[in-house]
Amino acid sequence: MDRGEKFAMLLQHLEKCSESIVYYDEIASIVQQIRQMESIMAPIHFHPNQVFDETKHVIDVIAKKYLEKATDNVHHLVPIKVAADGNCLYNSILLVMNNLMVTADELRVRTIIELMINEAYYENIFSQFIGSVTFVIKAICKNNTFSELYEISALCNVLRCNIRSIYPKIDFREDMAILNNVFTPRPSIIANCDITILWSHVWNELDARATNNNVWSPNHFVPLMQSFVYDESDHSNMSTSIAVTPEKKTFKNNTSTRIRSPEFELSPSRHLRTENNMGTNFAQSIISNALQQHKSGIENQRQVRLDILKERALTSRMNETTEHRQIRLEKQKERDDLKQMTETEEERQIRLEKKKENARSHRRNETEEQHQIRLEKQKIRDQSSRSNNIDEQRQIRLEKQRKRSQANRAKKKLEKLASGNIDVQQQDIEMQFTKTEEYASCDGKSISGFTQNSNVKKKNSSCS
């Protein structure tokens, strides 16, 4: 199984977890297991190719129309066509990435992991605009679903890069300053590069409005690349403008003459850049304030959220049907199997020791009623386990049971034979002892008769 297939399988597991009643707990469990897979979870080295190559890339004509409605300082960029399959944000990253080993599934899985382990950070920044990150994580677990701000921000940390988000100036939105913004990694991560993406639509504006009650809403992302190499010192991905000395006209001898002017005015592009920076600064101030709130109240919020989720999980389990319970147990079994497949021998020994200690502690403190309930549950689990065994496992279990039965029968037979041999030996000894006594009795009688005969002979001899 190659790297892409492994991440495809992991994404399938996450999607199954997202369908559960207690989806958050199950997703969190899978995420912890994935993080321990060092062979596939090494950081991605992202070195994007941002120069348009007509032999490799195709211009997205529809996206180009939307780009014309964005801020002027990006009109020189080229929108590149990517697959519109719901993974368009990840496809945009892959197009500029020089790594054929990475797939959209991997980027989606890594995004989920980033959002889970730094949930409070993202919650404080974006929840006021697009809702709680908890529900977004559930949606992301389903493959081919459209991405939003959470995913863009998370990918900054996954790829260790700055992502400039360009949103067309179509229909006013309160969060327009956030959508047209440069997203950066968390303070603890240093960005190594910059990329630019455009919020777009697979249809032109008229058709998109016609299918959405005359409201335009994006459903696609495309990467923006440079048509030729620009000066990289400008972090706004703008071309280096050539300074032209302002000139004015004067008339001398009825001839129009140009003279240099000592006054310099800001070029239109600089005006636009200033306006764009104002919007960016506004968005950055919001993020900065959110970061301060995040640092001050992260632990309390985390505890409250965990308590709420725990209470929600307990309530769900109390109200779950037998079918839901069976599904939950099966998924738990799958997670346990996956974890055991990836654990080392040392981790296995630690897990078994903890399991034994927990079992001993629980049994020492349980009442008689709890003891009976535990035995009954164990019986049910054994029956459920047997019913869920595949034919091969069932045959193995029956074969082991048959061997144990044969061994027990052989043992009993040997014990019976040994007992019979002892009885036979005792009977032989008794028979030999009886024969010895009979022989001794016969010898006594013979001696007595011989003595009597001798006496008679002596008497007759004396008489004669």
* pLDDT tens-place values along the chain, 464 residues long: 899 999 999 999 999 999 998 899 999 999 999 999 988 999 999 999 999 999 999 999 999 999 999 999 999 999 999 999 999 999 999 999 988 999 999 999 999 999 999 999 999 988 888 888 999 999 999 999 999 999 999 999 999 999 999 999 998 888 888 899 999 999 999 999 999 999 999 999 999 999 999 999 999 999 999 986 544 444 444 433 333 334 444 444 444 443 333 333 344 444 444 444 544 555 555 555 555 554 455 556 556 666 766 676 777 777 778 887 788 788 778 777 777 777 788 888 888 888 888 888 878 888 888 888 888 888 888 777 777 666 677 788 888 888 888 888 888 888 888 777 676 666 766 676 666 656 555 555 554 554 455 554 555 555 54
**Of the candidates 336, 332, 346, which has an alpha carbon nearest to the alpha carbon of residue 33?**
336
Residue 205 has a pLDDT of 95
* CA end-to-end distance (rounded Å), the chain: 126
Claim: this prediction has a pTM higher than 0.75:
no
Give me the CATH topology for the region 3-319: Cathepsin B; Chain A (3.90.70)
Beta-carbon neighbour count of residue 347 at 10 Å? 13
**Per-residue model confidence (pLDDT) at position 231:** 47
Q: How far apart are CA 25 and CA 205, in angstroms?
A: 41
CA torsion sign for 430, 431, 436, 437 is positive
Which pLDDT belongs to residue 445? Answer: 53
Q: Could you give the CA distance from residue 168 to residue 178 in angstroms, rounded to a whole number? A: 13
Annotated domain spans of the chain: 3-319
Report whether 193 contacts 162 (CB < 8 A).
Answer: yes
Q: Which two tokens stand for residue 344?
A: 């080392």
Q: Angle of helix 149-159 relative to helix 88-96, nearest 10 degrees?
A: 30
pLDDT on residue 152: 97
Q: What is the Cβ-side half-sphere exposure of residue 362, based on CA atoms within 13 angstroms?
A: 11
Question: What pLDDT was estimated at residue 48?
Answer: 96
Number of Cβ atoms within 10 Å of the Cβ of 73: 19
Amino acid letter for position 356: K
Neighbours of 115 (CB within 10 A): 25
- SS3 of the chain: the string is CCHHHHHHHHHHHHHHHHCCCCHHHHHHHHHHHHHCCCCCCCCCCCCCCCECCCCCCCECHHHHHHHCCCCHHHCCEEEECCCCCCCHHHHHHHHHCCCCCCCHHHHHHHHHHHHHHCHHHHHHHHHHHHCCHHHHHHHHCCCCCCCCHHHHHHHHHHHCCEEEEECCCCCCCCCHHHHCEEECCCCCCCCCCEEEEEEECCCCHHHHHHCCCCCCCCCEEEEEEECCCCCCCCCCCCCCCCCCCCEEEEEECCEEEEEECCCCCCCHHHHHHHHHHHHHHHHHHHHHHHHHHHHHHHHHHHHHHHHHHHHHHHHHHHHCCHHHHHHHHHHHHHHHHHHHHHCCHHHHHHHHHHHHHHHHHHHHHCCHHHHHHHHHHHHHHHHHHHHHCCHHHHHHHHHHHHHHHHHHHHHHHHHHHHHHHHHHHHHHHHHHHHHHHHHHHHHHHHHHHHHHHHHHHHHHHHHC
Cα–Cα distance, 166 to 66 (Å, whole number): 10
Distances from the Cα of 328 to the Cα of 21, 44, 51, 138, 237, angstroms: 8, 34, 49, 16, 50
pLDDT of amino acid 407: 86
Cβ neighbours of 301 (radius 10 Å): 16
Reading the block at residue 155, the tokens are 């990918």
